A and B are shown apart, each in its own frame.
Chain A
């Protein structure tokens, strides 16, 4: 019945929390406690800037957040191979691509609020193909 399946789900499921009070992640120069004096626009701009930096670090360090727990992963797509038989859409590739896309959206958002905004050095805007 449904009560059983809910209990089973709870057992299998891992909490989304990571680290502990003594094991935190900090980005130098970017405080994670926000003053309540920021107005909503300032807070939003800071949040977007923080997220750009956060994703850049994931891409740089290769800590892409791939879960080790197989049960939590969604089904893999059909493999796509290159002409020499190497798989193109590996898990690592898919995670990286998703992060690149998220970062691109954030940078576009940031540039509309602040045209002076300098994107991270390793950022390349996606190529738009005309076909």
Chain B
């Protein structure tokens, strides 16, 4: 019951339930979170880029609370999706999903 058909895999991994918008306000904390995520994802393949939408002032931006990771290959992204799903981050259970690469490149993060 922990596995559902994730749909067609893409090279963009979306991580959910990891960060709260208020944890992204402080620059130092934001950089710590970013490097924690990058380090762990790098175990599964080459990470090309990471996007973590941050709140603008008191307003949460679209996609805020999610983390998007672009891998070099679909295979690496697939490995990371399986390996990171169900792990804990800041005490919360990580959920994973694939994301549309075109939307990622256009900064359409939701």
Asked if A29 and B32 make an inter-chain contact with CB atoms under 8 angstroms apart, the answer reads no
User: Does A87 make an interface contact (CB < 8 A)?
Assistant: no
Chain A: interface residue total (CB-CB under 8 A): 30
Asked if B17 and A51 make an inter-chain contact with CB atoms under 8 angstroms apart, the answer reads yes
Binary CB contact string for chain B from 63 to 104 against chain A (1 if under 8 A, 0 otherwise): 000000000000000000111011111111111111110000
Asked if B91 and A33 make an inter-chain contact with CB atoms under 8 angstroms apart, the answer reads no
**Which one of A17-25, A109-117, A119-127 is at the interface?**
A17-25
User: Does A59 make an interface contact (CB < 8 A)?
Assistant: no
A49 CA to B92 CA, complexed, in Å: 14
Q: Contacts of A24 on B, CB cut-off 8 Å?
A: 85-87
Q: Contacts of A9 on B, CB cut-off 8 Å?
A: 28
Asked if B89 and A28 make an inter-chain contact with CB atoms under 8 angstroms apart, the answer reads no
Chain B residues 1-31 with CB under 8 Å of chain A are: 1-8, 16-17, 28
A18 CA to B87 CA, complexed, in Å: 7
A16 CA to B3 CA, complexed, in Å: 24
Asked if B4 and A31 make an inter-chain contact with CB atoms under 8 angstroms apart, the answer reads yes
Asked if A33 and B17 make an inter-chain contact with CB atoms under 8 angstroms apart, the answer reads no
A19 CA to B87 CA, complexed, in Å: 6
A27 CA to B96 CA, complexed, in Å: 15
Which partner residue on chain B sits nearest A64 by CB separation? Answer: B91
A17 CA to B28 CA, complexed, in Å: 17
The verdict on A13 contacting B32 (CB below 8 Å), with A33-B95, A34-B6 known, is yes
Binary CB contact string for chain A from 17 to 52 against chain B (1 if under 8 A, 0 otherwise): 111110011111111111111001001000100110
Binding site for A on B (CB under 8 A): 1-8, 16-17, 28, 32-33, 36, 39-40, 81-83, 85-100, 110
Given A16-B90, A33-B3, A40-B110; 20 other pairs, CB 8 A cutoff:
A16-B89, A25-B86, A25-B88, A27-B93, A28-B1, A31-B4, A32-B94, A33-B2, A33-B95, A34-B4, A34-B97, A35-B4, A35-B5, A35-B6, A35-B7, A36-B100, A47-B16, A47-B17, A50-B93, A51-B17
Closest 3 CB pairs of A and B: A24-B86, A36-B7, A18-B88
